[in-house]
Amino acid sequence: MIDLNTQTQSWTDNYKLLVGTIVPRPIAFVSTVSAEGVRNLAAFSFFNGVCPKPFIVSFAPMRRMDGGKKDTVRNIEETGEFVINVVSEEMAKPMNSTSPTPEFDPDVDEWVVSGLTPEPSTLVTPSRVAESPVQMECKLVQVIDFGPAEAGAGSIVLGEVVRMHLREDVYQNGHVDPDLLRPIARMAGNDYARVTDRFQMARSKPEEWLK
Ligand SMILES: Cc1cc2nc3c(=O)[nH]c(=O)nc-3n(C[C@H](O)[C@H](O)[C@H](O)COP(=O)(O)O)c2cc1C
C-alpha cells in the first residue's frame, strides 16, 4: 500500500484524492439570488443527503482561489434560501456553462449564459431550473466553515428541503425512476458518469449471518 500523509502534503494533492476516490458524486445544481437581486446558478458535486426528518441535504463549496467565498455561499448566507436541481444528461452542457474555472464575476447571470429556463419556486425566491427533472426548494439550516479564508478551504451548507418538484413521468407510485431521471455524476478531471450499469442485492437479515 502507498501511505500518504494527508496532514503534511499540499491541499492540491489532497483535492486530487478527494475527487479521485469519492466517486461517482451526484451534482447539486444550485440556484440562488443575492440580497441585491442578482441571480446565480452553479454546480457542486460534494453533495449528499443527510436525513429525511427533518429533510436535510448538504453540499460543500470550496473557496475561490483568491480565498473569497463563492457567490452561491454568499447569496445563501445573505438570504437563507436556495434551490437544488438534479442534473439530467440533457442538461450537461448548459450546467457546465454556468460553472467555469476561474469563476464568473458575481454580476454575471448564469441563467442568461446557459439559456436554461427559470420556473418560479413556491416557498423560496430563487427560481427552479425548468429543464431539471427534480427540484428541491431549500431553507438554510447552517453553514459551517472549515479552515482559514484562503484557497483550499471550504464550507458545508446544510439546508432543509421544504418543497420538492418532480417531473410526472419520473415519479411513479412514490418512487423515482433512475432510467427517466438520467442523472449525471462527477468523477475526477473531465470525467462524468451515467448510472446505467446497476446490479440488484436485497438487504440482508441479521439471522442470515448469526447462525
Ligand atoms: C460538475 C461540477 C461540479 C462542481 N463541484 C464543485 C464542488 O463540489 N465544490 C466547489 O467548490 N466547486 C465545484 N464546482 C465548481 C463551481 O461550480 C464553480 O466554482 C462555480 O463557478 C461557482 O460559482 P459561484 O461563484 O457562482 O457560486 C463544480 C463545477 C462543476 C462543473
- Residue 31 is predicted with a pLDDT of 98
- Residue bearing the CA closest to ligand 1, atom 4: 44
- 118-119 vs 128-129, strand pairing mode: antiparallel
The pLDDT of residue 103: 86
Ligand 1 mean position, distance from CA 98 (Å): 9
pLDDT beyond 90 at 13: yes
Q: CB of 75 within 8 A of CB of 40?
A: yes
Domain spans of the chain?
A: 17-209
pTM listed for this prediction? 0.97
pLDDT above 90: percentage of residues in the chain: 96
Please state, in angstroms and rounded to a whole number, the distance separating the CA atoms of residues 134 and 196. 18
pLDDT of amino acid 4: 98
Mean pLDDT of 168-184: 97
Is 94 close to ligand 1, i.e. is its CB under 6 Å away?
no
Which ranges in 32-166 belong to alpha helices (H)? 71-79, 92-98, 110-114
β-strands 134-146, 81-86 pairing: antiparallel
Pocket test for ligand 1, best of 16, 19, 44, 47 (most atoms within 8 A of CB): 44
Establish whether residue 46 lines the binding site of ligand 1, counting it when its CB lies within 6 angstroms of any ligand atom.
yes
Res. 211: pLDDT tops 80: no
Average pLDDT over residues 181-208: 97
For 70, the 3-state DSSP assignment is coil
Percent of the chain at pLDDT > 70 equals: 100
| Rounded Cα gap, residues 125 and 164, in angstroms | 15
pLDDT of residue 161: 99
Task: Locate the ligand 1 atom nearest the alpha carbon of residue 98 and give its number.
Answer: 21
Determine contact, residues 179/169, Cβ cutoff 8 Å.
no
Q: What is the pLDDT of residue 116?
A: 98
pLDDT digits (tens, 9 = 90+) for 123-151: 999 999 999 999 999 999 999 999 999 99
pLDDT at 54 over 80: yes
Q: Is 61 in the pocket of ligand 1 (CB under 6 A)?
A: yes
Answer yes or no: is pLDDT of 193 > 90.
Answer: yes
Give the pLDDT confidence score for residue 36 in this predicted structure: 96
Provide the CATH topology of domain 17-209. Pnp Oxidase; Chain A (2.30.110)
Identify residue 164 by its one-letter amino acid code: M
Q: How far is the CA of 22 from the centre of ligand 1 (A)?
A: 16
Q: Which atom of ligand 1 is nearest to the CA of 108?
A: 26
pLDDT in tens, 70-118: 999 999 999 999 999 999 999 999 999 999 989 898 888 999 999 999 9
Going by CA atoms, what residue is nearest to atom 14 of ligand 1?
Answer: 44
Asked if residue 32 has its Cβ within 6 Å of ligand 1, the reply is no
Sign of CA dihedral 135, 27, 38, 57: positive
Ligand 1, atom 5, residue with closest C-alpha: 44
Query: What integer pLDDT is reported at residue 164 of this predicted model?
Result: 98
